[in-house]
Structure 1
Amino acid sequence: MFVRRIVVAAAMALGLACAAQAAGYPNRPVKVIIGFPAGGPTDVAARILAKHMGEQLGQPFVVENRTGASGAIAVRGAVGAEPDGYTILMGNSGSMSVLPYLIKDLGYDPLTQLEPIGLVVNLPSVLAVPTNSPFKSVQDMLAYAKANPGKLTYASQGIGSLNHIATEWFKLIAGVDITHVPYRGDAPSIQDLTAGRVDMSFFSIVSALPQLQGQRLRLLGVATSKPLDELPGVPTVMSQGVPDFVAEPWNAFLTPKGVPADIREKLNKAMNNALQDKEALASLRSVGLYPMGGSPQDLENYMKSQSTLWSDVIKRANITQ
């Protein structure tokens, strides 16, 4: 009985300490780690949200770019940080749901070593071909691909990039053989696509819009669940014979394992408030970023479903790095 009272008292003391910690949080700057260079979509989203979250919580949210290894270096840094709420990670679909199933001994497991805060934004993808392509629809392209296995080519941002994995999924669903041509990033792949040196590519609407305005590309479809207002007349890929195909890179906030739930709830509330702010929304949409939001549980469920999807594609397509 005496021992039980001690255990109960200790638990109550710990609970009060955690509540006090959350009540005073934050009382110094919060570091936001991202794994990609300044100016990219992940960096832009992190800085827009950091500004508004800092204003709400009364402390600056300072973005720190730790680039390298497709975002894995930043994730490792977050996993090893103190679980006090003063280090948060802007994770992305690649580092959270692709790399763990593509690279052995990656150095982290996002599903067990990180705590969810919430989904931030996604970046809708489009399927593009050169303006002089003979294909006017996804059906046109698939008919040719089925009649001519391996003759068509597609560009990706590199082996293991999300548009590489997503295109392999597209091929699996459609039952076609299209040859992969990997590049080192968006810019060189788009350059060769516009020049007609490759036949097709999936990439973000952010990268697509300048090429469309310059009439250097034609869009066959959007890899979303419904058409986009910004692209009137462009149907979804899934409505053109590729059922269930939705490929939207995403970003989310997470913390190291062990951050008190009250602190994560504070961060989640600030994040959702920022995503509803008119100024923040306008800034995000101006660069092709679509707000998501939701609870920590929503993010946890989403990461599990994405991990199941992409690990299955990696296995079925026999993708190695």
Structure 2
Amino acid sequence: MDLTDLERLPGADDQNFEALTRAVVSRRYGALGRMRERRNQPGVEFYLSVDHVGALGDPGRVWGWSCKWFILNGKNQLTSRQRELIEDSLKLAVTHVKGLTDFVLCLPQRPAKSDEEWIDGLRQGTVKVKLWCVENFDAELAGHDELRATFFGELTLTPTALEHAHERSVAPVRLRWMPRLHTSTSAEHHIERALLRPAAFDWLQQRTDDVETRADALRVALSSLDSDSRVDASAVADDLDRFVAELKEIIDAGRSLRPGEVRERLANQQPPATSPRALKRLGSFVWIMGCCCADSYGSWVV
């Protein structure tokens, strides 16, 4: 296996490397504890707090994975700048990940022996430092052939592969094929969402923008309301702002290939506390907000 083959996948190389690492850890060790990931997580891409005895040790240990897409030189050596970035990540992880006990540095290529020795010596206090490179990923993927095939084999969906599949599907009707009349099917939408394609979140982005636009219009109208209605309307605007901010975090996590964070945020996400009926009671600004209603998922559509 050659981890640099990730370069042929769509998207940024470093994000694909992070996605592979996250998928491996989730499949191999997800049942042992709770995985946490956040945008711009200091020091590590994600971490796992161990709740059950297993391959990651006893409960209480906290493992963090830091992915560095470093393509090494001809001598397989880390540059001084790359070493600085590794040290900075370790320091940030120790500072910001509460209870961190194990720091796993993930590299797409195995560095020279001198660099491995340097990495082994990075231990800070009780925090151990481990190296994952191609041999480690190969071993971690053992028994997970579908995951290996998704990133490196026949299940890899690249733009080229999808284009070839499309050409085969329309070949029998080539003379009647009219691209401008093509309509996306539900199966296509399901695939887009399963692959966390950025476009799969466009529908949620559009509805989020709709709610934000009406919340902004509501704030503009506050000065024209009587004092009692202004207090109620201000509370509604604050509630919608909170809801919009949470939806934006979900969209960002999905588009950035952080499924664990998406699941966590969805589990904790609360719909607007203000009901459509309460909005109607305010009367003075119903015309601004339009006819708002909650859909089956608790989000708002207009």
For the criterion TM > 0.5, the same-fold answer is no
More strand by share: 1
TM-score (norm 2): 0.24
Q: Which has the higher helix share?
A: 2
Q: Looking at both structures, which has the greater relative contact order when contacts are Cα pairs under 8 Å and sequence separation is at least 6?
A: 1
Query: Which has the larger Rg?
Result: 2
